[in-house]
Amino acid sequence: MAYSQILFEADEHGIALITVNRPEKLNALSGSLVAELRDAFERVAGESAIRAAIVTGAGDKAFVAGADIKELAALSAIEARQYALRGQQAFRLLETLGKPSVAAVNGYALGGGLELAMACTVRFASENARLGQPEVKLGIIPGYGGTQRLPRLVGRGRALELLLSGEAVTAAEAHRIGLVNAVVPQAELLGHSRSWLHKVMANAPLALGLVLESVDVGLDIGLEAGMRFEAAAFGISAATEDRREGTRAFLEKRSPAFAGK
């Protein structure tokens, strides 16, 4: 797919930088833009040379400031449901890549923008960022997973406070309640994101994927079943060449050279 609303670039370390590129619209999500994001996430999932992803917005004002309201206003009930399902599917793909992802929140992350950020593995925010789910102010509710992911990240009470008021919070408040993992100066945001991913990518790739899957599955199926899934995943990790290399390197007091096998 040729991209007209996002930028996609993969570096020599295997980090894909996906930039929502509609700065004149504060990077608002349209249906066609979401389709481009889905294609980009499929590339990240399918290309073995890509081991991680950063999602950010163009410019210095917005990560993604929400949905394209003009487009939303024209939808029928059936069309709106399909619109929501397509966005949910795209963001779920990002969430289940099996590879770590960072939302580099460089400004407003509202509505669908916050939902996009919450689908990433972690969120780092610039000091000027503001985050929220303002949908109730428009007479609608979040449709790309906001009512589901927000309680999982910050707890039921905090989530309902944000969802029912529709008010945005500062980056500092988002960090305090656990919605973002760190707050850094805007000029350092991408560097901080890459630095964190480099530390993560020094670890065994298969183990990283199994950790991501175990957490995701466990949140859905409950503690007891989740523990059983973890034990099975632990067994799989123990059978890999990376486990043999990792334990050998530890005993030999050297850095491991993981092969992803």
- Measured CA to CA, the distance from residue 75 to residue 125 in angstroms comes to 32
Which residue in this structure is represented by tokens 């859905």? Answer: 220
> For helices 156-165 and 146-154, what crossing angle results, to 10°?
140
Q: Which residues are catalytic?
A: 115, 135
Question: With contact defined as beta carbons under 8 Å apart, do 24 and 56 qualify?
Answer: no
User: In which band, very low, low, confident or very high, does the pLDDT at 69 lie, cut at 50, 70 and 90?
Assistant: confident
CATH fold of 6-201? 2-enoyl-CoA Hydratase; Chain A, domain 1 (3.90.226)
Judge whether residue 73 has pLDDT over 90: no
Beta carbons within 10 angstroms of residue 222's beta carbon? 9
Q: What are the tens digits of pLDDT across the range 93-144?
A: 999 999 999 999 999 999 999 999 999 999 999 999 999 999 999 999 999 9
- Measured CA to CA, the distance from residue 68 to residue 196 in angstroms comes to 32
Which residue in this structure is represented by tokens 């990792």? Answer: 246
Q: What are the tens digits of pLDDT across the range 225-247?
A: 999 999 999 999 999 999 998 88
Which of the four CATH numbers 1.20.272, 1.10.287, 1.10.1740, 1.10.12 does domain 205-251 have? 1.10.12
Domains 6-201 and 205-251 belong to one CATH topology: no
Domain limits, the chain = 6-201, 205-251
Beta carbons within 10 angstroms of residue 170's beta carbon? 15
- Measured CA to CA, the distance from residue 84 to residue 142 in angstroms comes to 9
What percentage of the chain carries pLDDT values higher than 70? 100
- At a CB cut-off of 8 Å and minimum separation 6, what does 110 contact? 64, 65, 66, 130, 131, 132, 133, 134, 168
Q: What are the tens digits of pLDDT across the range 10-57?
A: 999 999 999 999 999 999 999 999 999 999 999 999 999 999 999 999
